[in-house]
Amino acid sequence: MNATSRYHPSRPSRPLPWHAWALGGLFLLYSLAAAFDHVMSLAQGAAYYRDSGMSESQVAYFLAVPHWAVAGWTVSVWGGLCGAAALLLRRHVATGLFAASLAGSLVYMLHVLVLSAGGREAMGALWAMPMVLGALTALLVAYCQRLTTTGVLR
C-alpha cells in the first residue's frame, strides 16, 4: 500500500457505499444483542442462563469458564459493537476494532472448542456459531481495510 492511497484530511473522502451500510447495520444489530447477552451473563449469571432455557449442565459449564476466556469474549463482543459503529461513522479505526474482536473470539474459541471438556455440548445446536462469526469478522477486517485504502473510511 502506498502513502497516496491512505486517507488524508485535505482530500475529500468518498461516501459510504450501500453495502457498507448494510453490513455495518446488520453487524451492529447482532452486536447489540451480543452486548445484551454479555451484560446479562455477567450481571445475573446462573439466573440469566436458566431463564434463557439452558440445562443445569450448560449453566455449570458457563459458570466455570475461566477469566481469560471471559476476557476474550468481552473483547470480542465490545470490539465488534464498537467496530460496527465505527464502520457506520466511516472511521478507519473500525479495522482495528474488528481485528481486536476477532482476536477475542479466537481466545474464547480456544477455550470452548479446544481446551475444555464439554464445550461443544454446552453450546448446543449453536456450537459452530463462534467459528462462523469469527470468519465473518475476519472478512470485515479485510473489508474495512479496503474501505480505508480507497478513502471511504477516514
Within the chain, residue ranges assigned H as helices are 18-44, 46-51, 56-63, 67-88, 93-109, 119-123, 129-149
Say what the pLDDT of residue 11 is.
55
pLDDT (tens digit, 9 = 90+) per residue, 16-41?
899 999 999 999 999 999 999 999 99
| 19 CB burial (10 A radius; 0-12, 13-18, 19+) | exposed
pLDDT (tens digit, 9 = 90+) per residue, 105-134?
999 989 888 887 777 777 777 778 888 999
Q: Determine contact, residues 64/122, Cβ cutoff 8 Å.
A: no
Residue showing cell 477486517? 141
Q: 80: how many CB neighbours lie within 10 A of its CB?
A: 28
Q: How would residue 1 be classed by pLDDT, with cut points 50, 70 and 90? A: very low
Global confidence as pTM: 0.86
> What are the residues whose beta carbons fall under 8 Å from the beta carbon of 116, sequence distance 6 or more?
61, 65
Among 2-11, 64-73, 143-152, name the one with the lowest average pLDDT.
2-11
Say what the pLDDT of residue 6 is.
55
Q: 69: how many CB neighbours lie within 10 A of its CB?
A: 19
Using CA atoms, how far apart are residues 26 and 50, in angstroms rounded to an integer?
28
Grid cell listed for 48: 440469566
Say what the pLDDT of residue 9 is.
53
Question: What is the amino acid identity at position 135?
Answer: A
pLDDT (tens digit, 9 = 90+) per residue, 45-82?
999 999 999 889 889 989 999 999 999 999 999 999 99
Work out the end-to-end distance of the chain between its first and last CA atoms, rounded to an integer number of angstroms. Answer: 16
